Amino acid sequence: MIRADSIFKSFGDTPVLQDISTEFLRGKNNLIIGRSGAGKTVLLKLLVGLLQPTKGTVWYDDIDFYSLNKRQLRDLRMQIGMLFQGSALFDSMTVQENISFPMDMFTNMTAKEKLDRVNYCLERVNLDGANKKYPSELSGGMQKRVGIARAIVLNPKYLFCDEPNSGLDPKTALVIDELISDITKESNITTVINTHDMNSVMEIGENIILLHNGRIAWRGSKDDVVHSDNEILQDFIFASPFLKRLRTKALERG
Amino acid sequence: MFLVTDYNVRALLAILTIFGRSLQLHVHMYPLRVLFHIGRYISMLGSAIARPEKNIMYYRETIRQMYDIGIGSLPIVFLISIFIGAVAALQFAFQLDGTLVPIYYIGYIVRDFAIIEASPTITCLVLAGKVGSNLASEIGGMRQKEHIDAMEIMGVNTAAYLIAPKLVAALVVIPMLVALSAFISIYGGYLAVVPTGWLSDPEYALGVRSFFNPHNFRLMFVKAVTFSFILTSVSCYQGYYVKSGSIELGKASTNAVVFSNVLILLADYFIAVLLT
Ligand SMILES: Nc1ncnc2c1ncn2[C@@H]1O[C@H](COP(=O)(O)OP(=O)(O)O)[C@@H](O)[C@H]1O
Ligand SMILES: [Mg+2]
């Protein structure tokens, strides 16, 4: 479980996040949703320490994240996996070297053990046999999957995904969502996902917060979405007139 | 006639305000910004000096960088060195012509000019352009594409992993390139004046062997090490803290070259004052 405790973040005089308090639950798909520029990425980076909050703190179970020293921080980070918006694969390395990188850097596993683990992770994301390819030779969806494989290679307890399906077609996006969700369930991971994709919200959203103007405007699960009368939420999920009509019809029928 | 109208007064005030603001910017902001950069540069180098997470990974990266910097720069170093020597030899040949200075001095002058000044300085200025801009855009690209964030998340000390191997590689390889450059320059001088008949082969050789002072060699290596540290660390700094956007990346790479060059010349001056 990860808990954000009244987090404030400003860049210069511009406040981006104000008084964010929430819990991200173990074994659940925790979603941070909101329009572009709502501060989702900033919040995610605060959670993993790539940015410092102006005020407030973050708890990893019973560890106060910002009070950790360098060594402790490194130990905690070995339990964190993260999938970046642009996948952030190292382009001078092959798929195999990318996935192997955390093991090369932090473990004393033998080459054979590492290769087995790489192959297992590749299989897990349905990319078996792509070992020798370079990131530039892969499609966007495949890059995301390699990114996921690299994020889970050290069996993380916490998984962060920044817009895992941005730039993907809806079908591929769904595959990625399901993959992340399955991995979360299998290994009982605390997964935090940033998204502005309403499909993800409706498919995998178990514990959702909606960011709007730097504050949490709504929280709930996918089952609460349709029936909520929160206007900001409805405006976000049912953004197009077409979807608004669909929702009205669905509500009329009960 | 000048009318003191409300409009004129306000215009004057506006001009004064703008002037004052820009003055304030220059008097207060600019030194602060420089201090900010110096502070961040030093703290970056501080984090870069740390125990490697995994020696073999750093070792591999260092070897790769040595190869890139060393082998990659051989052609350009070869080319400029030939011309440094050739131009110096011809220039001195013209100047010594008709004077009482013995003609074999050409070899001696070319040798010392190459060792003390031309090879370390010009090689490093050129390498700042080649290696420096390359380092800045490589690291800057990694920052912009979130590669650095990705490594940080894994627990990698990115300042160390991305900068230390490059520094070590440069500090080893660039002095070797400089020494090589000095030898090639002497040969370049030979090519310019011996086949063209300014002086004979034995005369040039005699000049190159005359008045040898090992201190000059030491000076060359002090310069080479200092300059390679400057060009590598400054370029890495520019890349490591690049802001987002391709314009910023271009700026970082330009700044890497410009600041390295200015600092190299500055250091050259101080070494000349202190060590000669
Ligand atoms: N490093 C930064 N410096 C200044 N402003 C930033 C920085 N990072 C993000 N912002 C601002 O914070 C706001 C939220 O950005 P972000 O979290 O990236 O939004 P999104 O929800 O689309 O991920 C934006 O208005 C952005 O301009
Ligand atoms: Mg974002």
DSSP string, chain B: -----HHHHHHHHHHHHHHHHHHHIIIIIHHHHHHHHHHHHHHHHHHHSS--S-HHHHHHHHHHHHHHHHHHHHHHHHHHHHHHHHHHHHHHHHHHTTSSS-TTHHHHHHHHIIIIIIHHHHHHHHHIIIIIHHHHHHHHHHHHTTHHHHHHHHT--HHHHHHHHHHHHHHHHHHHHHHHHHHHHHHHHHHHHTTTTSS-HHHHHHHHHTT--HHHHHHHHHHHHHHHHHHHHHHHHHHHT--SSHHHHHHHHHHHHHHHHHHHHHHHHHHHHHH-
Task: Give the closest of B56, B147, B156 to A88, CB-based.
Answer: B147
Asked, for residue B49, whether it belongs to a domain, the answer is: no
pLDDT at B2 over 50: no
Contact A106 B152 (CB under 8 A): no
Asked, for residue B21, whether it belongs to a domain, the answer is: no
State in Å: Cα A83 to ligand 2 middle: 12
User: Where does the pLDDT of residue B22 fall: very low under 50, low under 70, confident under 90, or very high at 90 and above?
Assistant: low
pLDDT at B212: 83
Which residue type occupies A211? L
**Minimal Cα–Cα distance from B232 to chain A, Å?**
21
Please give the Cα distance from B271 to B276 (Å, whole number).
8
- For residue A239, report the phi and psi dihedrals to the nearest 5 degrees: -70, -40
How many pairs of residues across A and B have Cβ atoms under 8 Å apart? 51
State which ligand 1 atom lies nearest to the alpha carbon of A34.
Answer: 21
Q: Does A77 touch chain B (CB under 8 A)?
A: yes
**Best CA proximity match to B186, nearest among B126, B74, B108:** B108
Asked, for residue B111, whether it belongs to a domain, the answer is: yes
Please give the Cα distance from A156 to B207 (Å, whole number).
69
Query: Is the Cβ–Cβ distance between A101 and A93 less than 8 Å?
Result: yes
Which residue puts its alpha carbon closest to atom 26 of ligand 1?
A: A37
User: Where does the pLDDT of residue B30 fall: very low under 50, low under 70, confident under 90, or very high at 90 and above?
Assistant: low
Give the list of residues 6+ apart from residue B190 with CB closer than 8 angstroms, or none. B85, B89, B107, B204
Q: Does A90 touch chain B (CB under 8 A)?
A: yes
Whether A42 is in the pocket of ligand 1, judged by its Cβ within 6 Å, is yes
Query: Is the Cβ–Cβ distance between B238 and B253 less than 8 Å?
Result: yes
Contact A88 B154 (CB under 8 A): no
Interface confidence (ipTM) of the complex: 0.91
Q: Find tokens 């010349």 and name the residue.
A: B265
Domain coverage including residue B241: 55-275
Query: Is the Cβ–Cβ distance between B85 and B110 less than 8 Å?
Result: yes
Torsion-angle region of residue A188: left (phi > 0), alpha (psi -120 to 50) or beta? left
User: pLDDT tens across A35-58, in order?
Assistant: 999 999 999 999 999 999 999 999
Confidence (pTM): 0.87
Whether A240 is in the pocket of ligand 1, judged by its Cβ within 6 Å, is no
Looking at the structure of chain B, the number of domains it has is 1
Query: Is the Cβ–Cβ distance between A104 and B57 less than 8 Å?
Result: yes
Q: Does B150 touch chain A (CB under 8 A)?
A: yes
Average pLDDT of B237-266?
96
Asked, for residue B142, whether it belongs to a domain, the answer is: yes
Asked, for residue B44, whether it belongs to a domain, the answer is: no
Task: Give the closest of B57, B147, B153 to A48, CB-based.
Answer: B153
**Best CA proximity match to A84, nearest among A113, A117, A48:** A48
Whether A29 is in the pocket of ligand 1, judged by its Cβ within 6 Å, is no
Give the list of residues 6+ apart from residue A36 with CB closer than 8 angstroms, or none. A196
State which ligand 1 atom lies nearest to the alpha carbon of A38.
Answer: 21
Please give the Cα distance from A44 to A64 (Å, whole number).
16
Average pLDDT of A155-167?
93
Whether A38 is in the pocket of ligand 1, judged by its Cβ within 6 Å, is yes
pLDDT at B24: 46
State in Å: Cα B175 to ligand 2 middle: 45
Q: What is the CA radius of gyration of chain B?
A: 25
Whether A106 is in the pocket of ligand 1, judged by its Cβ within 6 Å, is no
Please give the Cα distance from A164 to A141 (Å, whole number).
9
Q: Supply the mean pLDDT for chain A.
A: 93
State in Å: Cα A39 to ligand 2 middle: 7
Asked, for residue B143, whether it belongs to a domain, the answer is: yes
Asked, for residue B25, whether it belongs to a domain, the answer is: no
Average pLDDT of B151-165?
95
pLDDT at A73: 92
Q: Find tokens 């964030």 and name the residue.
A: B149
Instruction: Spell out which residues of chain B touch residue A160, defining contact as CB-CB under 8 Å.
Output: 153
Please give the Cα distance from B182 to A111 (Å, whole number).
44
% of chain A beyond a pLDDT of 70:
100
pLDDT at B190 over 60: yes
Whether A129 is in the pocket of ligand 1, judged by its Cβ within 6 Å, is no
User: Where does the pLDDT of residue A160 fall: very low under 50, low under 70, confident under 90, or very high at 90 and above?
Assistant: very high
User: Where does the pLDDT of residue A207 fall: very low under 50, low under 70, confident under 90, or very high at 90 and above?
Assistant: very high
Asked, for residue B28, whether it belongs to a domain, the answer is: no
pLDDT at A149: 96
User: pLDDT tens across B34-54, in order?
Assistant: 888 888 999 899 989 888 989
pLDDT at B1: 39
